[in-house]
Structure 1
Amino acid sequence: MLWFLLAVVTLVVLITLLIFRVKDLSEYDGQDWVIKEVAPNPAHDEVIERIKDMGRASRGLKGKARLIALRNHLDSLGEGVDIESDIRHQDHPRGEWILAPGADSRRRVLYIHGGAWAAGSPRSHRAITDRFSRIANAAVFAVDYRLMPEHRFMDGIRDCRQAYAWLLNHGPDGEAPVDFMVVAGDSAGGSHTLSLLAWIRDNGLRQADAAVALSPSTDLTLTAPSNRENIRTDPLLGPVFGGLSKIPLPVLWWGTLAAFRISPTNPVASPLRGELNKLPPVLIHASTTEMLLDNATRYAAKAKAQGSPVELHTWQNMVHVWHIFTPLLPEADEAFEDIAVFLQKVEQQ
């Protein structure tokens, strides 16, 4: 009986390795990147309390009720934001336009929000999209892509692709070709952003002039060291996803395949594992203490190795996607100033 069990386990392991073929990417670790030092600030404590409020909002709830509570709380982040932009709803593709005063409608930003592919919306990220419209002097379209689990992961991917193709020839005032195009996103939306760039390249569409990925997820295999080492220092992702570190990786891969209906090694879901050549200029932001730090560093290192122009700027001790806490956090304002400089440099090249 023991030999039979050992044979079964061995067979399962071999099948797992054969199906997923997870390549070791540690060769991209250990490079030096720009790190911005951060001084203590009372605003940091307030941000931590807001993150704790998110946990309290779903405490004791399970299943769909917990997901709804998380979605509502995340959306509430955008309700109290003081913005000057004009907001216009769009049905096809679904989303909203964010237009800062005087924004040039032929300059466009496709913004893809984060939220672990199951939460978030254009409303939750208005603090970010409002700033993008101002610093880029552009019309921002925040796509309201379909979320899991009600929809398949690929449904959201298709929504982002459709939105990009549509934006090339449509602005907030109707049909008009784009002059300057940017794709941007955070966390899960950062993954969609980087995945989209490769799809654009491979399908012969007009490539984006630039892309910005904020604390992006780039690898669903969860093999990067920071996925485990930064659990305790990540106040947002640590409490939610830290428990995954106790589950054997092969089990997580099968779970991802079942939930996403796509392999965690597929570049559509894990853009780090695709070909990163011939991409437009990309700026990536990450925090030194977040779980997804190495997702960012590995992507940047591999893209540079394959000849694509990419910059990675990291901030000390910031929460995951700290940009959403503008103007409360001075480091959020610094991050948007950094993005503005990057976009200006791209246009001057």
Structure 2
Amino acid sequence: MALHPTIAEILANLPHPEGPLDPAAMRAGDDAQVPPLEERLPLHTVDDTIAHTPTGDVPIRIYTPADADTYGVLVYFHGGAFFLGSLETHDHVARSLAHETGLKVIAVDYRLAPENAFPAGLDDCYAVVRWVADHGDELAWDENTLAIAGDSSGGTFVAAVAALAHDDGFERITHQVLYYPSLDLDFDVDRYPSLRQNAEGYGVETAGLKGFNSFYTDSGADPADPRVSPLKRTDLTGLPPALIVTAQYDPMRDEGEHYGARLTDAGAEATVSRYAGANHGFVQHFSWIPDYHQVFAETAAFLRGDRK
């Protein structure tokens, strides 16, 4: 299938930035695209608070979809190449996840590179997951479902958190959901066919991956470290069931699909779902297109235990 025509039209009209990347300017540009509160999907409650964790205070946003006695919980890590993204830029993703899954969604405002050295952001994400389990009563957690989900670099954190939890003997994570994850920060173009097949013209380009991730790697994240590149982990046994969503026209498509294959080989449950005609970032940028909004329903089915 060709690139979705709506996506193709929008990409064709996007400006091509020149010169060095400026995190402050790019963050401001993203913030300018956030819709006003009255245009956002309404939920029962949306509350900002602080998770007081052993690694520090982490801002979080709690999305409660409806009035209920108890809830399953999904902890969500936004994308943005480790230096972009916020509770605001990905608010619509978290709202859609809460609405479609019926789970209480907790979005993590983790520390960003380059201002914060590795592993600050990863520590925040893992700490909030542990905080949820420790504060189940006040969250009305049902103590059954504790899922983690993330897009792009947030998907990197999902895989890394799942592994850290396993190694620590923390077995409460029930599902991991990764949307077009970046799982191998060694961007040698010969490592995965999709790095060449989708190198140019689809929004995120192979030649730019190293530069975008340099804010993270220059702040101490070593691509050889499995916490940075989860595909470097040699043993994937014992990890929670995974839904890995990939995009046909994503340079990083194959590493996500390879992660799914390796999980299966290790005896873990893994579902890989490739979205035809989609590009990297479609959950954040194009989930208003009906074909791609379906990703939230698919996530809900996976979390319910419906298997293809």
The TM-score normalised by the length of structure 2 is 0.85
CA shift in 2, pair 1:195/1:40, >3 Å = closer
**Equivalent residues of 2:3, 2:249 under 8 A apart:** no
The alignment status of 1:201 with 2:159, answered yes or no, reads: no
Letter matched to residue 336 of structure 1? F
Q: Which residue of 1 aligns with 2:27?
A: 71
Q: Displacement, 1:104?
A: 6.1
For residues 77 and 170 of structure 2, what CA distance do their matches in structure 1 show? Answer: 19
Aligned to 2:119, the other structure's residue is in SS state: helix
RMSD: 2.9
Matched, 1:151 2:116: yes
Q: Deviations over 1:155-201 (max 9, x none)?
A: 11110111010011325945866331110000000000011101111
Larger helix fraction of residues: 1
Q: CA deviation at 1:205?
A: 1.1
The one-letter code of the counterpart of 2:28 is N
Of the structure 1 ranges 259-268 and 170-179, higher mean CA displacement relative to structure 2 is found in: 170-179
User: 1:128 and 1:172, CA in 2 relative to 1: closer, same or farther beyond 3 A?
Assistant: farther
Indicate conservation of the 8 Å contact 2:192/2:255, yes or no.
Answer: yes
In the alignment, the residues of structure 2 paired with residue 124 and residue 99 of structure 1 have an alpha-carbon distance, to the nearest angstrom, of 19
Summarize the alignment of residues 327-342 of structure 1 with structure 2, pairs less than 5 Å apart. Answer: 328-342=288-302
Structure 2 counterpart SS, 1:221: coil
- Go from structure 1 to structure 2 and tell me whether the alpha carbon gap of 1:211 and 1:77 turns closer, same or farther (over 3 Å shift): farther
Aligned equivalents of 2:164, 2:20: Cα separation in 1: 36
Query: Which structure has the greater CA radius of gyration?
Result: 1
Is contact 2:83–2:216 with CA below 8 Å preserved after alignment? no
Give the letter aligned to residue 82 of structure 1.
R
Task: Output the CA distance in 2 between the equivalents of 1:303 and 1:281.
Answer: 9
Mapped to 2, the partners of 1:168 and 1:139 lie a distance apart of 13
SS of the equivalent of 1:314 reads: strand
**Is the 8 Å Cα contact of residues 77 and 125 (structure 1) preserved in structure 2?**
no
Deviation at 1:118, TM superposition (A): 0.3
* Structure 1 CA distance for aligned equivalents of residues 28 and 291 of structure 2: 26
* Structure 1 segment 83-122 matched on structure 2, within 5 A: 83-85=41-43, 86-92=45-51, 93-102=58-67, 105-122=70-87
Corresponding residue of 2:194? 226
Among candidates 272, 289, 294, match of residue 231 of structure 2: 272
Distance of aligned partners of 1:289 and 1:257 in 2 relative to their CA distance in 1, 3 Å threshold: closer
Larger mean CA deviation between 308-317 and 168-177 belongs to 168-177
- The residue correspondences of 1:209-248 to structure 2 (distance < 5 A) are 209-222=174-187, 223-235=191-203, 237-238=204-205, 241-243=206-208
Amino acid at match of 2:290: P
- Which range moved further: 329-338 or 171-180? 171-180
Query: What is the rounded CA distance, in whole Å, between the counterparts of 1:153 and 1:69 in structure 2?
Result: 22
Task: Confirm or deny: 8 A CA contact 1:280 1:309 kept in the other structure.
Answer: yes
| Runs of 4+ in structure 1 over 6 Å off | none
SS of the residue 2:305 aligns to = helix
Distance 1:312 1:258, change over 3 A: closer
How do 1:284-295 and structure 2 match up within 5 A? 284-295=244-255
**Alpha-carbon offset, residue 135 of structure 1:** 2.0
The residue that corresponds to 1:48 in the other structure is 11
> Which residue identity lines up with residue 48 of structure 1 in the other structure?
L
Q: How many Å separate the matches in 2 of 1:242 and 1:60?
A: 14
- CA, structure 1 residues 345+260, in 2 after alignment: closer, same or farther (shift >3 Å)? same
Distance change (3 Å), C-alpha of 1:178 and 1:292: same
CA distance in 1, matches of 2:102, 2:274: 25
Q: 2:27 aligns to what SS in structure 1?
A: helix
Equivalent pair of 2:3/2:279 in contact (CA under 8 Å):
no
Q: 1:302 aligns with which of 251, 257, 262?
A: 262
Does the 8 A contact of 1:286 with 1:313 survive in 2? yes
Aligned to 2:54: none
The secondary structure found in structure 2 opposite 1:261 is: coil
Confirm whether residue 261 of structure 1 aligns to residue 220 of structure 2.
Answer: yes
Please state how far the C-alpha of 1:75 moved relative to its aligned partner: 3.1
8 Å contact from structure 2 (residues 64, 104) kept in 1: yes
Name the TM-score, length of structure 1 as normaliser: 0.75
* CA contact 2:3–2:277 (8 Å) conserved in 1: no
Contact 1:114 1:120 in 2 (8 A): yes
Long gaps (5+) in structure 1: 1-36
Structure 2, unaligned runs of 5 or more: 52-57
The amino acid across from 2:62 in the alignment is W
Does the 8 Å contact 1:117/1:153 carry over to 2? no
| Deviation of the 1:142 alpha carbon | 0.5
- Structure with bigger strand share is 2
